């Protein structure tokens, strides 16, 4: 069965520091992968997606993610974090079949300290 693992429940970084959020997936075929961000009290906003081609994907707000098939990973990165990046981040994979259900990881809560 498909699954997504986000090993880090909570991460704190200093403003201006680099960021990497980890995501590992389990899926038999070529996965369709997404990163969403959820600000407090808000819904989920799409940051970026991967479905084929270049393994380094650029998204909104200066985020990027790299798909590594050999490691079954799709880690999210940002070179310099801003205080407004404090939020919860979710990695997701399309579960397959006609319904295209999303399977979410449990999320990583990012705190940014001055």
Q: What residues make contact with another protein under the rule CB under 8 A?
A: 9, 32, 34, 36, 41-46, 49, 51-52, 90, 94, 96, 98-102, 104-107
Q: Which residues pair with 92 in a beta bridge?
A: 34, 104
> Phi/psi at 7 (nearest 5 deg)?
-65, -25
Name residue 28's beta-bridge partners: none
- For another protein, the closer of residues 22 and 49 by Cβ is 49
For residues 76 and 94, which CB has a smaller minimum distance to another protein in the complex? 94
Shortest distance, CB of residue 57 to another protein, whole angstroms?
11
Q: How far is the CB of 7 from another protein (least distance, A)?
A: 13
CA gap 68, 22 in Å, rounded: 12
Pick between residue 43 and residue 114 the one whose CB is nearest to another protein: 43
Query: What DSSP letter does each residue of 1-28 carry, written as one string?
Result: --EEE---SEEEEETTS-EEE--EEE-S
User: Least Å distance between CB 102 and another protein?
Assistant: 6
């Amino acid at each position: 069965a498909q699954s997504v693992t986000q090993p880090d429940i909570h991460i704190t970084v200093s403003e201006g520091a680099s960021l990497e959020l980890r995501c590992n997936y389990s899926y038999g075929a070529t996965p369709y992968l997404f990163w969403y961000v959820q600000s407090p009290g808000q819904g989920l906003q799409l940051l970026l997606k991967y479905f084929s081609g270049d393994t380094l994907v650029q998204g909104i707000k200066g985020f990027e993610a790299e798909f590594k098939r050999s490691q079954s990973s799709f880690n999210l990165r940002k070179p310099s974090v801003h205080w407004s990046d404090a939020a919860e981040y979710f990695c997701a994979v399309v579960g397959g079949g006609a319904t295209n259900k999303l399977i979410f990881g449990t999320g990583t809560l990012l705190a940014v300290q001055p």
